[in-house]
Chain A
Amino acid sequence: MSDGWGFWVFIGVLVAAHFGLHLSLGIEAAAPDLLTIAVLLAARELPGGPAAGVGFALGILEDAVSLGAFGAAAVTLTLVGYVGARSRDLFVGDSAFFLGSYLFLGAWIQDLLYFSLAGGVRRGEPVDALLVTAPLEALYAALIGLVAVVLYRTVR
């Protein structure tokens, strides 16, 4: 997927879009979690260490506006970045189905980890949140991520 600097510009656009939607426009669950998508896509192009570093850096940005769960996003995105990078050793593919499944699972795992670390500030019963809300949010993020990748490949 990587196309030199063009790919990293694409990752930067995803990050900017995430904060633009969530922070500039103040949209909550209606806006997808593009930060996790950015980490997952970047992780497929990086070794484990730098991928964890990208997750850490972006997680800290997310945590800066979080009251009561500071560091939770940094921990989860660091883990997601590392696991995403190591997943190349196990799964290889470039199809839309593979990429969609990878983004869905990655976003779901991120939500599971985040809920376990920041449960106090999240809404709803744990079972509902983890087995109903989180998969739906992950599916939404994965679909938007897939559309973004298709657009990037078209423009490239």
Chain B
Amino acid sequence: MSTLLILAILLALSTFAYQTGRRRALSLVGHAKELPALPGYYGSYVLLWVLLPALVVLGAWLVLQPRIIERGVVAQLPAEVRELPENRLGLYLNDVRNLAEGNVVSREADPELERAAENWARLESRGRSARGAFVLLLAVAGFTLAVRAIDRRLRAMHRVEKALEILLALGSLIAVFTTLGIVLSLVFEAWRFFQRVPVTDFLFGLEWSPQTALRADQVGSSGAFGAVPLFVGTAQISGIAMLVAAPIGLLSALYMSEYAAPRVRSTAKPLLEVLAGIPTVVYGFFAALTVAPWIRSVGESVGLDVASESALAAGAVMGVMIIPFVSSLSDDVIRAVPKALREASLGLGATKAETVRNVVFPAALPGIVGGLLLAVSRAIGETMIVVMAAGLAANLTLNPFEAVTTVTVQIVTLLIGDQEFDSAKTLAAFALGLVLFLVTLGLNIVALHVVRKYREQYE
């Protein structure tokens, strides 16, 4: 029985359950007013009993069944296949599954494989019918129990609302689970990486060349995982981005909040925000195909040797992307500066520029710094622009005309394409991800703290 069919039957059953619960409650009394809750609540009570246990079991079953089948199939495989290393065994099992499902198989179908596939198909179909039967049985059991429980004393409304509240609370826990999942998966994989490469080598090593060897005797087989060049590259590109974004964003914000007529402001602000809404892959394309060649040709015309994937191109385009973050965050804090301060300054005869420089800007400074920190964290975590426009090779340099690589670029290159999941190479990506997560998290916490503290001052 397919999952879709089970769901359809459950749906039909639940409508029936709602109606039955309602009718049953009404049949107990002469008039609906004699019930302690609206009749609909009795319907919902039965409905919840039908749906919730069945859905929970169905979900768990769908997750667990493939692993149980896999274990069953592996147990029946010949010993020489069973003892393959984990990743090759995985490939073999993939083929077994594909053969069982009638898909294309990447190897010769020998009798062993066919036997395993038959085995797979048998277990799969058995599991499927067991699943359907069990889930529906559970739904029917829930239905009977709930209908029986209905009597004049049942506080259906209380029960139903409590269940709803628990469901809502579960929804709010998803955010926590996500964070937990991120931390656990990053820490776990990074820990496995640090068992092979010492933490100090990773954090302070000056050489990054993550190619692991295919053969043991290959040149450079060791692979070097010193991430300093990546950190420097990331800092350099983010720095260039901030050099572009901070002045432009800040001055635009000052113009819009201090000088611009309301009409100008109401068109310019959304237009600036369009910059933030453009997908980063578009910026990446623009950087790689338009800005980088342009910078290169300009550099050549003045006699500079510019790499075609220069840090300058990626950084400058990233800066453009960040302008709206800086401008809208600083706009908020600048407007939060009380009018009285401005008017006092203007009343003493200061010009607008003097007011901005000597009164508004210092008053808004903590908030602006917080906004800039958020922008930096954005720049550090930005991926597509650098993947498309920055270099791939780790290059420890501060020259903005040379190609450098960043943490995010390396994560992407390490994880795209064919990979064995256990190699130090793929695990290194998670270690880099952990560093990225911690750094951006730290920046955000500091920034939010600064912004909040500042806001309280004037409230």
Partners in one complex: no
